[in-house]
Structure 1
Amino acid sequence: MPDFFLFINEILWGSVMIYLLLGAGIWFTVRSGFIQFRYIRDFGLSLKNSVTPQPGGLTAFQALCTSLAARVGSGNLAGVALAIGAGGPGAVFWMWVAAIVGMATSFAESSLAQLYKERDAHGQFRGGPAWYMARGLGMRWMGVLFSLLLLFAYGLIFNTVQANAISDALRYAWDVPGWLTGILLASFTLLVIITGIRGVARLMQWLVPLMALLWILTSLTITVLHIDAVPNVIATIVKCAFGWHEAAAGALGYTLSQALTVGFQRGMFSNEAGMGSTPNIAAAASSYPPHPAAQGIVQMIGIFIDTIIICSASAMVVLLAGPVGHATEIAGIQLMQQALAKLIGLWGCGFVSLIMVMFGFSSIVANYIYAENNLIFLGVDSYRSRWLLRAGIALMVVIGSVMSLPLLWQLADMIMALMAITNLTAILLLSPTVKLIASDYLRQRRLGVKPVFDPARYPEIESQVAPGSWDDLPRQ
């Protein structure tokens, strides 16, 4: 079975996913008018606007923090160390490329999620890929397929991977038994997720900035203390990205193919651009200004923070500590602990463990929100169904904490690829709508007015959006 999953992943990630992700990112970059470059200077203003409360949903900042909670997990620590171990320093460069092109993909999927959102029984906005597949494409069967994949991935597999990384970190630093980690982690997870989407969002808007700043400031401090080595580290990343470093050294090393494949794979596992996860929370926001593109731009900021800032911070720690050899999947977090301990002393192991607990815990909680959202789409959002999902997540957290399951990483990669293929197919088919959203937003910005989306201007879209989702907004 492990050999079978390895074979499937080699096919998916060795060719299909690389071309699909890169192609989709370039396509949406062009279709959206190079929006990630055009508005990078306005990120600060978008963040300022994101805290403005609006009726019917979360603030855009709460949605951003919750999406970051799901993104910023073991992939930002263990995943970066593994990427460098398996693909060399050049994998970091391709993670950056994946993030830059992925920003346009994230804009597309998050804007579509906003456009096709609808209110649930409690008046809270809901939406995501399943909704735009059903409403935008008229393919409910595709939405059902995607929802089932997401429930399996985010309700079970990904949480096991996060729990395993937390348990491994605590065991390595303080010899904490896995069963104890699992029970405590599952208990705290249940305490938080029973508060629902609003309770989770309120917690994440405080926890996520705190944990991100702690890790970024730590990396910056280490970088300043080793500033003389930084130019060489950056040069090594660029050289290894194209295989130049090994050719010059005349030694067997990492190839361009290894660096590119591992970089894109781990980059996507970290920032989730195109996978269809982030739109589930992006749709829950009441964006300000009231336009689908506004939330798309905010979620682009999430990609930038996750990969360009946080993953780069992790990469700098690993590379400044010295060469990283080939690693097994399960040893990723230990590589990060060893690197930080080498740079600042033994207490670095414990510090990485604490950061990993915050990163992993926030991811597990946010994953539940994504999974619960798709229960609503499937029409099985009953009291019993929610508690079955919660029990399943708690069980998988405990299992992941006590068992070493490298097979789960292969399963996670395969499910991630299947989700991405389904979601990217949908948003590529809806690319004319993405272009329309981006053009409408940019047109109003050029006119110097606050962008407001009026579906009445576009009859072909007005018939697809949910009644009441945009009706209460001021018209142009």
Structure 2
Amino acid sequence: MELFGNMVQQIDGWIWGIPLIALLFGTHVFLTFRLKFIQRYIFKAIKISVTKDDYGEGDVSQFSALTTALAATIGTGNIVGVATAIGLGGPGAVLWVWLTGIFGIATKYSESLLSVKYRVKTKDGEMAGGPMYVLEHGLKSKWAGVLFALFTSIAAFGIGCMVQANSVSSMVYETFKIPTWITGVVIAAMVAIVILGGIKKIAKVCNVLVPFMALFYVLGCIILLVMGYKTVGSTIVFIVKDAFSPQAATGGFAGSGVMMAMRYGVSRGLFSNESGLGSAPIVAAAAQTRNPVKQALVSATGTFWDTVVVCAMTGIVIVNSGYWQEGVQGAALTKAAFSAIPIVGPIILTVGLLTFVFSTILGWSYYGEKAIEYLLGKKAIIPYRILWVIFVYIGSVFSLNLVWNLADIFNGLMAIPNLIALILLSPVIVSETKKYLWDDNLEAVDKDLIKVIDDNGKVIDEHKKNIQL
């Protein structure tokens, strides 16, 4: 196992080397300029995301699609992931996490737009979409769609299931001394109750859970920043300087320099906001929307909230606490920072992590489910859900340092075909954006054809989109 673990770590380092970092961050920057800084519409997008609009075909509302995507993205990446980035890449990694979010807004917008444009409808009336359908119908590359779906169905068990369950069971044990197996049973049972109800049940739970959990955790961060207000300014300056420093700052983390800060900042940023990963567009494709651009704008706000707000606050809180200099890493680092709030600090963190983890497990169960449906058809959905619940329990009771590296690897493998599709289909993204956003037709209805597929993915019919059935 030690040999296997070392091999996995080497593969992880190779995949997340300069080429993938350049492809990921380069795509963010390329799409930002190609779309004339789409980030400037973020407040318009936020307004749209909370405006009710029942027109159009889809399985869930635009807001439900957003909260489900946020449920999957706001998780251990915001707490443990940021702390890990600081521990391994230094305080400068926080800036790269943040920049990945800022520029990643353009990528999240683009991949969601394509997923709605190329989504299909199953014969029972449900929507199916995501990069696998974009690759198949947009780029006419079925094999690439299969690869993406395969990587997603495997990665989901790491990033969205076992890692999440392990993080919360460990934190609950450290805080309340409750055995991990008890936490595992409780989480697995709660997950089973929700996911067996499908996307509508998942969305219903996320509509309530996501706003509560985000506000609860952010309030804790704000309290810590207010308590340490005297050094917050100098901490932010230090983070920026360290992000471009050729030498690592003094502290208890491995590696040094700009490359380590970029490597862990960008990879953990992707782990958290998933821009470019191709996961969130899977649920965006299920949204009830007038046109691809409107839902794309709503989806883009997910990266803003996840990384530009929550991850940034976590990073500043941790660096400002100073515990990173003492060799404390991972969840323990975030816990040490929150311990500055007497008595309730660890409780805020534990409740925040518990709700983050639970929501992430729900969101990713849907991503994995749709990927396995693409590969094997609807007959595989129920077995996949059962297997998912089992792995939630397994993740809760076993040590999973190895799974973090495996999750990184499959995240990277998911991102590659998705990013290539975004670059090659960028003319389509620009054309749709001009048609609906730049020409001020955001309320216009998309009348293009939508394909209807059978259980094996074969097209059996076509009709115009947004016809009220």
Q: TM-score, normalised by structure 1?
A: 0.90
Q: Distance in 1 between matches of 2:5 and 2:154?
A: 19
Q: Distance in 1 between matches of 2:174 and 2:11?
A: 32
Q: Which residue of 2 aligns with 1:192?
A: 194
Q: Distance in 1 between matches of 2:39 and 2:415?
A: 20
Q: Distance in 2 between matches of 1:130 and 1:246?
A: 40
How far residue 443 of structure 1 moved from its aligned partner, in angstroms, is 3.6
Q: Does 351-360 or 218-227 show the bigger shift?
A: 218-227
Match of 1:381 among 378, 382, 393: 378
Q: Which residue of 2 aligns with 1:367?
A: 364
Q: Distance in 2 between matches of 1:451 and 1:267?
A: 34
Alignment of 1:377-416 (within 5 A): 377-382=374-379, 385-416=380-411
How far residue 432 of structure 1 moved from its aligned partner, in angstroms, is 1.6
Q: Which residue of 2 aligns with 1:461?
A: none
Contact 2:216/2:348 (CA < 8 Å) preserved in 1? no
> C-alpha root-mean-square deviation of aligned residues, in Å?
2.4
Contact 1:163/1:360 (CA < 8 Å) preserved in 2? yes
Q: Distance in 2 between matches of 1:449 and 1:314?
A: 35
Counterparts in 2 of 1:437 and 1:326: CA distance versus 1, 3 Å = farther
Q: Does 312-321 or 71-80 show the bigger shift?
A: 312-321
Contact 1:236/1:245 (CA < 8 Å) preserved in 2? no
How far residue 414 of structure 1 moved from its aligned partner, in angstroms, is 0.4
Show CA shifts across 1:250-285 (max 9, x none): xx9841111111100100000001111011000000
Match of 1:235 among 201, 221, 237: 237
Contact 2:119/2:133 (CA < 8 Å) preserved in 1? yes
Q: Which residue of 2 aligns with 1:460?
A: none
Match of 2:351 among 341, 349, 354: 354
SS of the aligned residue for 1:467 comes to strand
The residue identity in structure 2 corresponding to 1:21 is: L
Structure 2, gaps ≥5 residues long: 450-458
The residue identity in structure 1 corresponding to 2:357 is: G
Q: Distance in 1 between matches of 2:316 and 2:356?
A: 18
Q: Distance in 1 between matches of 2:203 and 2:18?
A: 37
SS of the aligned residue for 2:225 comes to helix
Q: Distance in 2 between matches of 1:136 and 1:327?
A: 48
Q: Which residue of 1 aligns with 2:36?
A: 33
Contact 2:57/2:465 (CA < 8 Å) preserved in 1? no
Counterparts in 2 of 1:22 and 1:157: CA distance versus 1, 3 Å = closer
Q: Distance in 1 between matches of 2:66 and 2:26?
A: 25
SS of the aligned residue for 2:445 comes to coil
Alignment of 1:61-460 (within 5 A): 61-155=63-157, 158-243=160-245, 254-287=256-289, 290-325=290-325, 332-341=330-339, 343-382=340-379, 385-445=380-440, 450-455=443-448
How far residue 107 of structure 1 moved from its aligned partner, in angstroms, is 1.1
Q: Distance in 2 between matches of 1:311 and 1:136?
A: 33
Structure 1, gaps ≥5 residues long: 457-463
Q: Distance in 1 between matches of 2:404 and 2:250?
A: 34
How far residue 201 of structure 1 moved from its aligned partner, in angstroms, is 0.5
Q: TM-score, normalised by structure 2?
A: 0.91
The residue identity in structure 1 corresponding to 2:421 is: A
SS of the aligned residue for 1:324 comes to helix
Percent of residue pairs identical: 35
How far residue 472 of structure 1 moved from its aligned partner, in angstroms, is 2.1
Q: Distance in 1 between matches of 2:224 and 2:355?
A: 21
